[in-house]
Structure 1
Amino acid sequence: MFSSRFSYLIFFSVIILLGFNTYAQSTIFEKCGFDHKHDLHLQDTSYQKLIQSSENRLNSYLATPRTRSSNNIYTIPVVVHVLHLGESVGVGTNISDAQIQSAITNLNDVYRGQTANSPVDFEIEFALAQQDPNCLAHNGINRVNASSVPNYLSGGVDYYNDGGEADEDVLKDLSRWPETEYFNIWIVSEIENNNGGFGIQGYANFFTGSAYEGSVMMATVFGYDPTNLQPSFNLNAPRDNSTVVHEIGHYLHLHHTFKGDGDADNNGIGDACPGDVTIGVDSDGCSDTEPHKRYTSQCKSGSLNDCTGAIFND
């Protein structure tokens, strides 16, 4: 029964998000690993069917005009699995409880419309789980020394499945709660041997109820401290939790707004405009976002949109 409730919880959270152009779609693009993973999963026919079924449900629901409620707040239970390298709590990759809580707090501020970049209340909240799968009291944070997993100490998680880093599923199996009852977030030391800095900072997949789903994020992006009031937090600049906000948007079934622009050379700049260039049928699935290519800068407000021939509509 609880698994069914969780599925409906995610479904209605998705419905709410798809009604708006969200902050989660508009942050820095080149550091997100969603597209590659999504395309890889689409080679699996069972995943294709799950995605198609989800999108059919969404389209059917959205086709019926409804009054948006202001009374229902959907709270998604989160479990954070810190896959550290053997450090003490609060040191290096074994990030502190306070840093983790700062990420969750900021996430809620964004999705509840409490920040300048996200003035809309999506009526969605995230909370660290208070019970484990056996109904025992828990703080929603698991800590596992993953340094013994082959290649993890030297390269982190294997994103491209090239065998040079630690196998993703092996890492997740160290600590994984039922994906139909919790949103699993795995905190890792590196992604594809990026030394905790450049390249892919995190990724997530659409919620389908399949095994191993959730989000993988580097320790150095999971937390909020833009003014550096907490120097003990292991965060890279800009210390603003934007990667977390962005990736969780993908978990809630949001594509990138530039979906379909191509990036064959993987330089973070779109090669062409999406094939469907009419607002309302844009390939990202949100009718209020105009078609555009990805850019290396965060915001092109006030600039010419190559795909529409007009100034970007904020």
Structure 2
Amino acid sequence: MKKNTFLFLIFLTLFSCSKDSNLQITEDTKSSFKSTYKIPVVVHLTNTTNNFVSDAQIKKFINSINLDYNAMNESLKNVSTHFTDRVGNASIEFVLAKKDPIGQITTGITRTVTPFTNIRDKPNETPDYVRLIEYLKSEVGNWDGDKYLNIIFCVPPSETYGLVLTDSKIKDQWGYTEMPPFDNFELAGENLDKSSMLTGVIINYNTLLNNFNKATNTATHEIGHWLGIRHTFGLGFGGNPVSEEFAEYFEYFINSNGGPVNTNSTYDQAEDRIEDTPWTNIKSDNLELVQFGKIINVENFMTYTINLETKMFTKGQVEAMHNTLNNNKGGRQNLWSETNLIYTGLIE
């Protein structure tokens, strides 16, 4: 992806975000969400010292994500008029688990001091997330990825703000690396299944310590990947919007075929396969940006900007996420089932 050594990773670039950092969280906050889907979450904080954020900060973090996934974020009031009719409400609520894997009461938050100063201890080596997870499991137990969304805060390689893991050997019907979810994948020589904690989301802990808004925006973006949606520019090239040369190639397909086409081509790699998210190869804050005759949705949670705050999912993206949640691939359908909500303590 971003670098050849990160073939397994999907990266998120830095976003500038301005959610209300003074939001007060109470025990009744979650009652304001009338969501269709409830997803049990456990947040794992790992650090080399005891410098951990409070439970209140994590609850605030989860609430901020829920605002995004229920189209209740304050910034949505200022979304570009070009896209107000495309705003989608995912109606997904992420709730901290109340029972751990052995049925004990939990806050849904774990804190672990690890010996890892950096996931990639040696230059030019693939980040060893498997080793981190094995250490984490030895300290806090195994939280199955098909029963909990594991959000893991650690200190990954530099320039990485958040990611989901994928397997370059798993291909879609067009021959390109498949997005999560999947039932089995390989990482660092290990064969992992959908119960692995590594099927969750990994976020740079420094963002939570130093820039709360960046951490929440990172989580919203990466959970989108976890729910099976791509960047608005597709799988990307090196984790970034594609080159001008490819843009010309893309334009050729647009002009030749009259619109997006599904072919075994480089074109498809750059497509997110969602009709209401105009494609772009440019990282921009320009709300009037036009490419191939369409105004680009630069405020979309799944694109890259320079300083502009991202604010919305589209209806097409919501449909894609719901399709993922209603497909048992990767255990996503099990996560919000009544049986699992009882197991994780979200239903008494």
Scaled to the shorter chain, the TM-score interval is 0.5 to 0.7
Check whether the contact 1:172–1:186 (CA below 8 A) recurs between aligned residues: no
Q: Once the 2 structures are TM-superposed, how far is the Cα of residue 280 of structure 1 from its aligned partner?
A: 7.7
Check whether the contact 1:204–1:247 (CA below 8 A) recurs between aligned residues: yes
Q: Once the 2 structures are TM-superposed, how far is the Cα of residue 159 of structure 1 from its aligned partner?
A: 10
1:247 to 222, 227, 230: 222
* Separation in structure 1 between the aligned mates of residue 72 and residue 204 of structure 2, nearest angstrom: 25
SS at match of 1:163: coil
1:128-176 CA deviation, whole Å, 9 max, x = no partner? 11000111111111111102xxxx22xx2239994386x2111112134
Name the CA shift for 1:251/1:261 in 2 (closer, same or farther; >3 Å).
Answer: closer
The range that moved more, 71-80 or 276-285, is: 276-285
Of Structure 1 and Structure 2, the greater helix share is in 2
Aligned match of 1:82 = 45
The question of 1:111 aligning with 2:69 is answered yes
Q: What code does the residue aligned with 1:178 have?
A: D
Aligned match of 1:163 = 125
Aligned match of 1:288 = 276
Provide the aligned length of Structure 1 versus Structure 2. 218
Name the CA shift for 1:86/1:129 in 2 (closer, same or farther; >3 Å).
Answer: same
The question of 1:204 aligning with 2:164 is answered yes
SS at match of 1:102: helix
Q: What code does the residue aligned with 2:146 have?
A: T
Instruction: Tell me: higher relative CO, structure 1 or 2? Use CA pairs within 8 A at least 6 residues apart.
Output: 2
2:289 to 287, 291, 303: 303
Structure 1: tracts of 5 or more residues without a match: 1-29, 40-70, 223-233
Q: Once the 2 structures are TM-superposed, how far is the Cα of residue 251 of structure 1 from its aligned partner?
A: 0.3
Question: Within 5 A, what are the aligned runs for 1:152-231?
Answer: 152-153=116-117, 156-158=118-120, 162-163=124-125, 167-173=128-134, 174-175=136-137, 176-188=142-154, 190-192=155-157, 194=158, 199-205=159-165, 206-209=180-183, 210=194, 211=196, 212-222=198-208
The range that moved more, 282-291 or 240-249, is: 282-291
Q: Once the 2 structures are TM-superposed, how far is the Cα of residue 121 of structure 1 from its aligned partner?
A: 2.2
* Separation in structure 1 between the aligned mates of residue 112 and residue 213 of structure 2, nearest angstrom: 27
| Superposition RMSD in Å | 3.4
The question of 1:270 aligning with 2:238 is answered no
Q: What code does the residue aligned with 1:235 have?
A: N
Structure 2: tracts of 5 or more residues without a match: 11-33, 80-86, 166-179, 184-193, 263-267, 299-348
Aligned match of 2:102 = 134
The TM-score normalised by the length of structure 1 is 0.60
Aligned match of 1:143 = 111
Q: What code does the residue aligned with 2:132 have?
A: L
Q: Once the 2 structures are TM-superposed, how far is the Cα of residue 204 of structure 1 from its aligned partner?
A: 1.3
* Separation in structure 2 between the aligned mates of residue 172 and residue 72 of structure 1, nearest angstrom: 31
Name the CA shift for 1:213/1:294 in 2 (closer, same or farther; >3 Å).
Answer: farther
Check whether the contact 1:221–1:244 (CA below 8 A) recurs between aligned residues: no
Aligned match of 2:91 = 123
